[in-house]
A and B are shown apart, each in its own frame.
Chain A
Amino acid sequence: MTAEIGHFALILALLVAIVQSSLPMIGAAQGRPAWIALSRPSAILLFALIVLAFAALTHSFVTSDFSLAVVYRNSHSAKPLLYKITGVWGNHEGSMLLWVLILTGFGAAVAGFGRNLPPSLQARVLSVQAMITLGFLAFLLFTSNPFERMFPAPLDGRDLNPLLQDPGLAFHPPMLYTGYVGFSIAFSFAVAALIEGKVDAAWARWVRPWTLAAWIALTAGIALGSWWAYYELGWGGWWFWDPVENVSFMPWLMGTALLHSAIVVEKRDSLKVWTILLAILTFSLSLIGTFIVRSGLLTSVHAFATDPERGLFILLLLSIAIGGSLLLFALRAPALTSGGLFSPISREGALVLNNLLLTVATFVVFVGTLGPLLLEAAGTKLSVGAPYYNAVFIPVMVPLVAFMAIGPMMPWKRAELGAVLSRLKFAGLMSLIAILTTAYLQDGGPVLAVAAIGFAVWLFVGALVEWTDRIRLFRVPLAESLNRAIRLPRSAHGMTLAHAGLAVAIAGMTASAAWKTEDIRVSRPGETIEVAGYSYLFEGLRPVQGPNYSAEEGSFLVTRDGRFVAKLTPQKRLYDVQKMPTTEAAIHTTGLEDLYVVVGDPDGKGGWTTRIFHEPLVPWIWAGCLIMVIGGLFSLSDRRLRIGAPVRSKKWQTKPETGQVGAQA
């Protein structure tokens, strides 16, 4: 019964989406207030119906209703409750439903918080949003119905892929999808602006918080995914340039560019055409990502069960959404007039450079991900791996990071490069010290890695110097500095945090890639293994029993110079239903390094394969991502951007507290 309610809600939602995608759009074109006003309640109703469908599916998973095909294939009665719930999106059908849930959730948010939007713009945005929803609802109902019944109902299910039974993965898909799908709002705003033929500072100010929210979620989602790969796959790696990782990374790179170019539209009324294109491309890359993952186009460790028919359906959706919006762009964008002029050496110029480099970086990842497909069509097979990305992606990142410290110090319109660089003397000095210290500690190390540490310090100190200059720290009394810090717009703190967070992450990525130590061998109980100054005493294995798996747990006593450091207990699990073995790494972190132990297969003579990794600075990768996310949240809470903050309220006009020219536009 529950499942039928869910199914029925989906069908109703499809009908509501048809209404919402047509009437408000026509109403806005013909100036019919009643049709325009329809957009808001219908967006909220659409969301409510999808919530109902999602709740119905969750209920079926939690109560283990194996008469539903999707529950049978992806759940088991003995599975812990948490994984029964996360199992809802651990499969193709359920994850598409989550996709639509987030899509309509964002639509409802625009309807609820966007009261200060001009009604015709809001109606058009919600209409475009409903068109996307309509496509995906049709996809769900016609090719991937999550509420399909089985008769007779099986007694028990086939369980969720054991790799997915993990707390880190529980929150990875919702985060990632919030990011992916969040960019749909920027897309809808861009399409609506093209239809209206108007892009101005107000438009940019409405787009930015949505883009920022999506960017925050995507950053967190990618970080969670990489963290999961790090501790679950058992090889101590955190990024594999796998197609599925790349398709989440491309919208991130494009979205980052969009975030920055929207600032130029807002503050300087410039770069409009480019910003519109970025908004379309960012969401297009999210759509292409969904297509690649679901169609089996490329091989990947995460591929869902694939079906060419579904692939064709999504390709059709892609052609309509991306083709349609780009056609609209080709026809309408030339009419958009650009405002403020600027010299190449200026804040605008730096942001253009940021955009160019991020676009090139996206292109590089795109070629690496889809190049093999293009070559295969031409008759050769090729796989692209880390060497390609190291050779091509990193050279794009180097100037990006170098200019990231400089850009924020440049004034709008025209800047003196000399004056900016003289403010960065201290950052340069610190960077040099860091390079020399690293080179000394690592005996010269790989030159590129030492240089990368230098760049990370340059960016970190540069970001902090920009911030301390703004509050005039140490130049005026501390109380006044504090006062200035409080009055600084939150987005300024946000930028400092995000840039500094990236610097921290870069240091972590560099150190863990360049100075990782690994030891793989067959060990016997009682044996001691020395890795990077730590002694690992392999004490042996004992059997342990989990709720839906049995495992052998190894025990390692870690000491340094005879002092106890940690006891590490990696497991080798065998899940009962799927008969699939997984390794559970044991990790001890000091904040500066991770000690990482995995136990593998027995050799039949009383020994086991053991893998021990020493990963310097690896926790900084995720700490850096966390700082970036916090920076994003800070910026999002800026009153200027706060969702629904009335732009022309009295308070705003009487207290222009930021003192920035563009803020009053």
Chain B
Amino acid sequence: MLRKSIFFLPILTFFVVGGYFYWGLDPNRNPASIPSVMIDKDVPVFDLPRLEGSGVVGFGSDDLRQGTVTLVNAFSSWCLPCLAEHPVLTELAKRNGIRLYGINYKDKPEDAAAWLREHGNPYARIGADTSGRVAIDWGVYGVPETYVVDGNGRIRYRHIGPLDLAAMNEIILPLISELKP
């Protein structure tokens, strides 16, 4: 009896998997979305010190509630995609009325400063998050990541991975002009 019932194992397995397939076909389900609990929430409370050698000051939560839209970008000198998005950020920072702040994630200050000297510094302020604690509060998944914060200090958009020209033109810039008072 047991021997015979083993032969039903494959078909039972298939119907369990098939049930999940059926569930997965729900048209309202978007498999690409990565949920962020932080969207439309206030930025976490933090105060990051300046990055030594960068020539710009640090920032904290209060600096993001001054009525201007801010892009907050998490980056590291050891992260190759960060370098790939660097020209895009540089281009963004040149636009009028866009503030770009950086969170330097788990980096050695001297490495980060040298990286900025070599490639240029697009950031108006940089906070050194040497331990990575603040990034955890923001829900950073990995570097690079970019957040759009509105004038009231609320996170409105999160971009995971390097920014490219398409994301800048089609998502970031329209959102910023929409959020501008």
The answer to whether B83 touches A521 (Cβ under 8 A) is yes
Q: CA A233 – CA B178 in complex, angstroms?
A: 33
Stretch among B14-22, B99-107, B151-159 lining the A interface: B14-22
Indicate whether A291 sits within 8 Å of B21 (C-beta atoms), given known contacts A326-B14, A522-B119, A601-B87: yes
| Partner of B14 from A312, A322, A604, A605 at Cβ < 8 Å | A322
Q: Are B18 and A377 in contact (CB under 8 A)?
A: no
Per the 8 Å Cβ criterion, residues 369-384 of A in contact with B are 370, 373-374, 376-377, 381, 383
Number of chain B residues close to chain A: CB under 8 A: 36
A344 in the interface (beta carbon within 8 A):
no
Query: With A311-B25, A520-B83, A601-B88 known to touch, is A284 a contact of B32 (CB < 8 Å)?
Result: no
Q: Verify B11–A604 contact, CB threshold 8 A.
A: no
Roughly how many angstroms separate A582 CA and B159 CA in the complex, as a whole number? 21
Whether A374 contacts B20 by the Cβ 8 Å rule is yes
Question: Which residues does chain B contribute within 8 Å of A518, judged by CB atoms?
Answer: 80
Q: Which residues of B are in contact with A by a Cβ distance under 8 Å?
A: 3-4, 7-8, 10-11, 14-15, 17-18, 20-27, 31-32, 34-35, 80, 83-84, 86-88, 90-91, 94, 119-120, 164-166
What's the nearest-Cβ distance from chain B to residue A64, in Å? 28
Chain A residues, Cβ within 8 Å of B32? 299
Which of the residues B14, B15, B24 comes within 8 Å of A297, measured between beta carbons? B24
12 pairs from A and B in contact (CB 8 Å cutoff) = A281-B10, A291-B21, A308-B27, A315-B25, A327-B11, A329-B10, A330-B7, A330-B10, A330-B11, A377-B20, A377-B23, A607-B87
The size bracket of the interface on A is 35 or more
Q: Are B11 and A323 in contact (CB under 8 A)?
A: yes
CB distance from B131 to the nearest CB of A (A): 23
Contact indicator per residue, chain A 510-530, by CB within 8 Å of chain B (1) or not (0): 000000001011100000000
Q: Which residues between 575 and 616 of chain A lie within 8 Å of chain B, taking CB atoms?
A: 581, 600-605, 607, 609, 611
**Most chain B Cβ neighbours within 10 Å, of A297, A383, A607:** A297
Least CB distance, B19 to chain A, in whole angstroms: 9
Q: Nearest CB to that of A332 among chain B residues? A: B7
Residues A268-326 near B (CB distance < 8 A): 277, 280-281, 284, 291, 295-299, 308, 311-312, 315, 318-319, 322-323, 326
Contact A603 B86 (CB under 8 A): yes
Minimum CB–CB distance for A507 against chain B, Å: 26
- A424 contacts the other chain (CB 8 A): no
Min distance, Cβ B119 to any Cβ of chain A, angstroms: 6
The answer to whether B25 touches A522 (Cβ under 8 A) is no
Q: A284-B14, A322-B14, A522-B119 are known contacts. Are A600 and B25 too (CB-CB below 8 A)?
A: no
**Is there a chain B Cβ closer than 8 Å to A333's Cβ?**
yes
Residues of A within 8 A of B87 (CB): 522, 600-604, 607, 609
Note all chain A residues with C-beta closer than 8 A to B21. Answer: 291, 295, 297, 315, 318
